[in-house]
Copies of this chain bind each other. A is one copy, B any other.
Amino acid sequence: MSDAHAARRERLSEYCSASGADAALISKPANVQYLTGCAPCGAALLLTRERALLALPGELPPDDSGEHPFAAELPHLAAEPGQDPTEAAAAVAARLGVSDLVVEEHDLTVSRHRAIAEAAPGVRLGDVNLAVERLRVVKDEQELAGLRIAAEIGDQALGELLESILVGRTERHLAMELERRMVDHGADRAGYPVSVGTGSHSGRSDHRPTDRRVEEGDFLTVSLGAQYRGYSVCTTRTFVIGAAPATWQVELHRLVFDAQRAGREALAPGVLGSEPDRAAREVLRAGGYQEERPQPFGHGVGLEVREAPQLGPAEMGKLDNRVPVTVGPGVHLPGRGGVRIEDTLVVRPLEEGGPELLTITTKELLAL
């Protein structure tokens, strides 16, 4: 991966040059990881025209575990105790004669920004304007391979859950079990806290598992995603507990299923990022469901489980080839519950077969 990381740094350097900056100081963990590969928590990257330097939050740990390949790959220095690595890097920038340094104003706190300014007197600070986030939108084959494995792990964990007895178990217990199964199948960890909502909690996008137990007749909404080598995906499925779903359950599930399909089918390079959300929402609206303050039904995934682009009504940009995104509409009826169905897909042109579905667990209304 060393070459790929060097190429990414080269692209950032070109951006800096074009915008009149001498150097960039990258502090956001996902961005440091993108540009360097594995980096310890708290590391910062200084990128000048001639060199890359990784500032670490302390001495390198003894690497008998071989966990820190960056040590061989990039020059690095350790911050003093109590010093933020960004300050150490800024001081180096000043010594190297950097005059215009761009930093990540969307990541640095006001306090850290001030400390950087003090560590690099005479250096003008600017904003990197989300340049690394924009580089990260389109994925290379190695990144897509990581996302595919993450999706596979989530599918395995979910498949095993569906074979077990669910009635009587709490949301929290089911969520922990799914997390453990993902790790057993090789995930770094869960990409985000697993959400399990049953009964009146089903269908909510932001539900935190409670001690409510699964009951006969419940909708059960499970949202999970494994992280594999830093890359995370999202899957959400809604099932019904017991052999005989009620009519309203069958109908609501069918509606959300159709909405989600409409959203998926709208994915294509060149299409507006708001289009999949609009397509899904139109189906729900025709079925009589409309939100006053709509939350976007989808978003990009990668080193962050929620990253650019946002697939909501306000998105102005167009989708690119090889951008992995989620499509996850849902309906929640207060007091009754609801349905949410979400996939992660990679945007691909029609001539390559259209969007590539990563999360392949069935979306049918299984009665468990």
Taking CB atoms, residues of chain B closer than 8 Å to A212 are 65
Take A65-B200, A180-B177 as given contacts and tell me if A295 and B210 are in contact as well, using a CB distance cutoff of 8 Å.
no
Tell me how many residues of A have a C-beta within 8 Å of chain B. Answer: 46
Q: Mark contacts of A103-130 with chain B using CB atoms, 8 A cut-off: 1 yes-contact digit, 0 otherwise.
A: 0011111110110000000000001000
A139 at interface by CB-CB < 8 Å: no
Q: Mark contacts of A279-318 with chain B using CB atoms, 8 A cut-off: 1 yes-contact digit, 0 otherwise.
A: 0000000000000111100000000000000000010000
- A113-B113 Cα distance, complex, nearest whole Å: 12
Q: Quick one: copies of this chain in the complex? A: 2
**Min CB gap A90→B, angstroms:** 14
Q: Restricting to A46-93, which residues have a CB under 8 Å from any CB of B?
A: 58-59, 61-62, 64-65, 67, 78, 80-82
**Min CB gap A62→B, angstroms:** 3
Q: Restricting to A307-346, which residues have a CB under 8 Å from any CB of B?
A: 314, 332, 334-335
- A291-B167 Cα distance, complex, nearest whole Å: 54
Q: From DSSP, what is the main secondary structure of chain A's interface residues?
A: loop
Q: Are B81 and A294 in contact (CB under 8 A)?
A: yes
Taking CB atoms, residues of chain B closer than 8 Å to A335 are 62, 64
- A246-B333 Cα distance, complex, nearest whole Å: 63
Take A105-B111, A106-B109 as given contacts and tell me if A61 and B173 are in contact as well, using a CB distance cutoff of 8 Å.
no
Q: Mark contacts of A155-190 with chain B using CB atoms, 8 A cut-off: 1 yes-contact digit, 0 otherwise.
A: 000000000000000001100110110011000010
Q: Are A59 and B293 in contact (CB under 8 A)?
A: yes
Q: Are B293 and A58 in contact (CB under 8 A)?
A: yes
- A108-B107 Cα distance, complex, nearest whole Å: 9
A351 at interface by CB-CB < 8 Å: no
Taking CB atoms, residues of chain B closer than 8 Å to A352 are none
Taking CB atoms, residues of chain B closer than 8 Å to A180 are 176-177, 180
Residue on B nearest A63 in the bound complex, by CB: B334
- A114-B62 Cα distance, complex, nearest whole Å: 41
Taking CB atoms, residues of chain B closer than 8 Å to A295 are 58, 81
Q: Are B64 and A334 in contact (CB under 8 A)?
A: yes
Residue on B nearest A291 in the bound complex, by CB: B59
Q: Restricting to A186-224, which residues have a CB under 8 Å from any CB of B?
A: 189, 193, 200-201, 204, 206, 208, 210, 212
Known: A59-B293, A81-B293. 10 other contacts (CB 8 A): A58-B295, A59-B292, A62-B332, A62-B334, A64-B200, A65-B201, A67-B208, A78-B293, A105-B114, A176-B180
Q: Can you give 21 A-B contacts (C-beta < 8 A)?
A: A58-B295, A61-B204, A62-B335, A64-B200, A65-B201, A65-B210, A67-B210, A81-B294, A81-B295, A105-B109, A106-B109, A106-B110, A106-B111, A107-B109, A110-B110, A172-B183, A176-B183, A176-B184, A177-B180, A179-B179, A189-B193
Q: Which 3 A-B pairs have the closest CB atoms?
A: A62-B334, A105-B110, A106-B111
Q: Which residues of A contact B (CB under 8 A)?
A: 58-59, 61-62, 64-65, 67, 78, 80-82, 105-111, 113-114, 127, 172-173, 176-177, 179-180, 183-184, 189, 193, 200-201, 204, 206, 208, 210, 212, 292-295, 314, 332, 334-335
